[in-house]
Amino acid sequence: MPAWPGGPCPQCGDDMPPNLVHCQVCRALLNDDFIPDSVEIPEFRPLEEIASMVEVEPRGFYVACPRCQQELRIARKYVGKGVRCKICQHDFHLDIYDKAIRTIAFFASCPHCQEELRSSPKYIGTKVVCKHCRGHIHFLDELTRPTDPL
């Protein structure tokens, strides 16, 4: 089956460059050897690495105390609640979206090897690979910002 040599479209007459399948103007087939139903769409098969992805929620966060800037490890259950710095005894409300509280990292357990992973907050909501076992993990962003009711 020869490639389209270029020239006028057989249907609309516009000049088309060589090696096209469809006319750029009217979308007509440029080669008589092609028939519209000659292309079969293959059956969908999900990729293996996507199917083996395991979703994981952060177990907690490493944040800097707003007063002394010391790094604190705080469990996820305290997000949205009042907490106290164990170094300077400063009380503050733990909101990981508050700009006054610097979130340094989060921690989670790998579901494949049970090793604890410490990751940057930029990886929340992304798909990553465990540095210990190379298992595929999707860090979920379940901690959505509270919204006002409509």
Structural domain contains residue 46: no
Residue 21 structural domain:
1-41
Structural domain contains residue 144: no
In terms of domains, do 126 and 58 share one?
Answer: yes
The total number of structural domains that make up the chain: 2
In terms of domains, do 63 and 106 share one?
Answer: yes
In terms of domains, do 95 and 129 share one?
Answer: yes
> What does the alpha-carbon distance between residue 121 and residue 107 come to, in Å, rounded to a whole number?
9
Per-residue confidence (pLDDT) for residue 39, from 0 to 100: 64
Which phi and psi (to 5°) does residue 48 adopt? -60, -40
Furthest-apart CA atoms within the chain: distance in Å: 82
Per-residue confidence (pLDDT) for residue 66, from 0 to 100: 92
Per-residue confidence (pLDDT) for residue 78, from 0 to 100: 94
Question: 3-state class of 82 per DSSP?
Answer: strand
In terms of domains, do 33 and 66 share one?
Answer: no
Per-residue confidence (pLDDT) for residue 146, from 0 to 100: 45
- Please spell the DSSP secondary structure of 56-76, one letter per residue: E---EEEEE-TTT--EEEEEG
Per-residue confidence (pLDDT) for residue 144, from 0 to 100: 46
In terms of domains, do 81 and 11 share one?
Answer: no
Structural domain contains residue 85: yes
> What does the alpha-carbon distance between residue 123 and residue 129 come to, in Å, rounded to a whole number?
11
Structural domain contains residue 147: no
In terms of domains, do 65 and 121 share one?
Answer: yes
Per-residue confidence (pLDDT) for residue 44, from 0 to 100: 83
Structural domain contains residue 103: yes
Is the CB of residue 76 less than 8 Å from the CB of residue 58?
Answer: yes
Structural domain contains residue 146: no
In terms of domains, do 97 and 132 share one?
Answer: yes
Is the CB of residue 62 less than 8 Å from the CB of residue 107?
Answer: yes
Per-residue confidence (pLDDT) for residue 115, from 0 to 100: 95
Per-residue confidence (pLDDT) for residue 142, from 0 to 100: 65
Structural domain contains residue 75: yes
In terms of domains, do 27 and 88 share one?
Answer: no
> What does the alpha-carbon distance between residue 125 and residue 144 come to, in Å, rounded to a whole number?
11
Q: pLDDT tens for the chain, 150 residues: list them.
A: 577 888 999 889 999 898 888 888 888 888 777 766 666 778 888 776 655 788 999 999 999 999 999 999 999 999 999 999 999 999 999 988 888 889 999 999 999 999 999 999 999 989 999 999 988 999 998 654 444 444
In terms of domains, do 69 and 115 share one?
Answer: yes
In terms of domains, do 27 and 101 share one?
Answer: no
Structural domain contains residue 148: no
Per-residue confidence (pLDDT) for residue 52, from 0 to 100: 72
Q: Which two three-digit tokens encode residue 95? A: 């909101």
